[in-house]
Amino acid sequence: MTQTPREKPIHVPMDQFRSEAGELLVGGIPLERLATRIGQTPFYAYDRSLLTQRANALRAALPDGIKLHYAMKANPMPAVVQHMAKLVDGIDVASARELQVALDSGADPREISFAGPGKRHDELRQAVAAGILINIESFREVAELGAIRQATGWPVRVAVRVNPDFELKSSGMKMGGGPKQFGVDAEQVPDLLAEIGKQGLAFEGFHLFAGSQNLRPEAIVEAQRKSFELALKLAEHAPSPVRFLNLGGGFGIPYFPGEQRLDITSIADNLAAIQREAAAKMPDAEIVIELGRYLVGEAGIYVCKVVDRKVSRGHTYLVTDGGLHHHLSASGNFGQVIRKNYPVCIGNRMGQPADDAVSVVGPLCTPLDLLADRMELPHAQPGDYVVVYQSGAYGATASPRGFLSHPDLVEVLV
Ligand SMILES: *Cc1c(COP(=O)(O)O)cnc(C)c1O
């Protein structure tokens, strides 16, 4: 047996961003010009035309009638949420503060839903007052919402977030199956539904979210099919017909060498099949998928500046003014088991030969502050721009920005 030599896996080309005269373009603006306009590095820049393109392409691929929601915790920048609100059918929020941003964006409260374990009493009251859909995740929430209904007389719109009895296979982050703090175990849902009826809450449907960052369409197809079947079973116990069925999402984007962009053809076909079956078995139900990262992740970059270039025992370090405190996930410390490099470029040396093996680090006094480990990049000097791609989701607000008290980042939508 001969073994074919395995090629080193590489990053999928980041061809959503163009470059011109050696400079990366963001929203058509050359990077240096943009940085000057912003007045500082580090910054995150999100390209609005890429946000629009992604949402429109997804809608074109999905069957008509499938509702698309934006899970705004992926990127809650108000300008981004406002832009997304025009492109999707609804917004999913995870806190009362996100709710305010969603309402400010002009999203219809009827199309806003609220999920998250540990919703506080004041948050529940705010949600009821806003008239949004609350995804219930515990018996306590039912009791508190019953009391809020009694006290205010306002309708309380609810769906049940179900912790399914299966897991999303090969998901980056599992959020359903087994014991979980999210949702209510499928086997407890019939009792919860009875309680919802007793409290006079307006039951609208089910929410199932099995996990995040999945790049295997067959796993997503299977999770959505199983979610639908579970919802059909649970609907037998519901106090009223299901009008809203949120099948989650979990669509991933390629971050690491060897990963490919998700092909959503089979997912769209499967949703069409579910839709046909739902028309017969759950005729009042609107089917929703909710996505965060897939909608916004590829449209954003993180940009920092090289401050120093050092050689230590033969290894070259580019020390930048940005790092882990702004971009925890690129440093590998946000859920990764084995650290791998995000795609990175030198934004003012596009097209130059990548023949310099370097590590890109930040200014923090910790070895965890690593943006790229032993990567081949064009030869960079102080003043050059390090760009981290795939940074539109879980960046600025998912990072410990106070850690070491360095200057804060800026976010722009271009
Ligand atoms: C975080 C979250 C999402 C978004 O996940 P992505 O991987 O960003 O698409 C969707 N739904 C719920 C309930 C979530 O908690």
Q: Is residue 81 part of a domain?
A: no
Q: Per the domain annotation, does 106 fall within a domain?
A: no
Q: Given this model, what pLDDT does residue 5 score?
A: 62
CB–CB of 101/72 below 8 Å?
Answer: yes
The CB of 125 under 6 Å from ligand 1? The reply is no
Give me the residue label for tokens 């934004």.
Answer: 347
Does residue 377 sit in the same domain as residue 325? yes
pLDDT reported for residue 178: 85
Q: What is the CATH number of the domain that holds 145?
A: 3.20.20.10
Boundary of a domain, candidates 291, 320, 354: 291
91/295 Cα distance (integer angstroms):
12
Q: Which of 241, 271, 291 is the last residue of a domain?
A: 291
Can you give the pLDDT at residue 1?
Answer: 47
341 and 287 within one domain: no
For β-strands 157-163 and 184-185, DSSP reports them as: parallel
Question: How many domains are there within the chain?
Answer: 2
d(CA 220, CA 205): 21
In testing the pocket of ligand 1, which one of 212, 213, 262, 329 has its CB within 8 Å of the most ligand atoms?
Answer: 212
Is ligand 1 within 6 A of the CB of residue 213? yes
Number of the ligand 1 atom closest to the C-alpha atom of 115: 13
Instruction: Please give the distance of CA 231 from its chain centroid, rounded to a whole number.
Output: 24
Residue 30 domain-assigned? yes
Q: Which of 291, 311, 343 is the last residue of a domain?
A: 291
Q: What is the DSSP letter of 110?
A: G
| Residue 220 CB contacts under 8 Å (≥ 6 apart), including other chains | 168, 214, 250, 251, 267
CATH at 339: 2.40.37.10
Q: Are residues 271 and 334 in the same domain?
A: no
Both 264 and 323 in one domain: the answer is: no
CB 2 within 8 A of CB 332: no
Assess if residue 204 is contained within a domain.
yes
- Write down the pTM of the prediction: 0.96
Q: Is the CB of 328 under 6 A from ligand 1?
A: no
117 three-class SS: coil
101 within some domain: no
Residues 203 and 324 placed together within one structural domain of the fold: no
- Candidate from 98, 227, 291, 397 with most ligand 1 atoms within 8 A of CB, to mutate: 291
Q: What is the pLDDT along the chain (414 residues), one digit of tens a residue?
A: 455 667 889 999 999 999 999 999 999 999 999 999 999 999 999 999 999 999 999 999 999 999 999 999 999 999 999 999 999 999 999 999 999 999 999 999 999 999 999 999 999 999 999 999 999 999 999 999 999 999 999 999 999 999 998 876 766 666 677 889 999 999 999 999 999 999 999 999 999 998 899 999 999 999 999 999 999 999 999 999 999 999 999 999 999 999 999 999 999 999 999 999 999 999 999 999 999 999 999 999 999 999 999 999 999 999 999 999 999 999 999 988 899 999 999 999 999 999 999 999 999 999 999 999 999 999 999 999 999 999 999 999 999 999 999 999 999 999
Cα distance between residue 145 and residue 158, in whole Å: 9
Minimal-distance CA residue to ligand 1 atom 14: 71
Let me know whether 141 and 258 are in one domain: yes
Instruction: Give a yes or no: residue 98 inside a domain.
Output: no
Q: How far apart are CA 250 and CA 294, in angstroms?
A: 8
**What is the SS3 string spanning 38-83?**
HCCCCEEEECHHHHHHHHHHHHHHCCCCCEEEEEHHHCCCHHHHHH
**265 lies in the same domain as 343:** no
Grouping H, G, I as helix, E, B as strand and the rest as coil, residue 311 is strand
Report d(CA 35, CA 30) in Å as an integer. 9
Q: What is the pLDDT of residue 4?
A: 61
Q: Do residue 287 and residue 303 come from a single domain?
A: no
DSSP letters spanning 314-382: TEEEEEES--TTT-HHHHT-SS-SS--PPPEEETTSTTS---EEEEEE-SSSSTT-EEEEEEEE----T
Residues paired with 64 in a beta bridge: none
Are 335 and 256 in contact by the 8 Å Cβ rule? The answer is no
On whether both 267 and 126 belong to a single domain, the answer is yes
Q: Is 337 exposed, middle or buried (0-12, 13-18, 19+ CB in 10 A)?
A: exposed
Strands 23-26 and 19-20: antiparallel
3-class DSSP assignment, residue 407: coil
Question: What is the DSSP pairing of strand 90-93 with strand 112-114?
Answer: parallel
Alpha-carbon distance of 279 to 286, in angstroms, equals: 9
Instruction: Round to whole Å and give the CA distance between 47 and 295.
Output: 12
Say yes or no: 210 and 286 in one domain: yes
SS3 (DSSP) at 225 = helix
Q: What is the domain extent for residue 348? A: 19-46+298-413
159 lines ligand 1 (CB under 6 A): no
- 163 and 283 co-located in one domain: yes
Same domain, 42 and 185: no
Within a domain: 363: yes
Report how far residue 46's alpha carbon sits from residue 275's, in angstroms, rounded to the nearest whole number: 34
In this structure, is residue 64 part of a structural domain? no
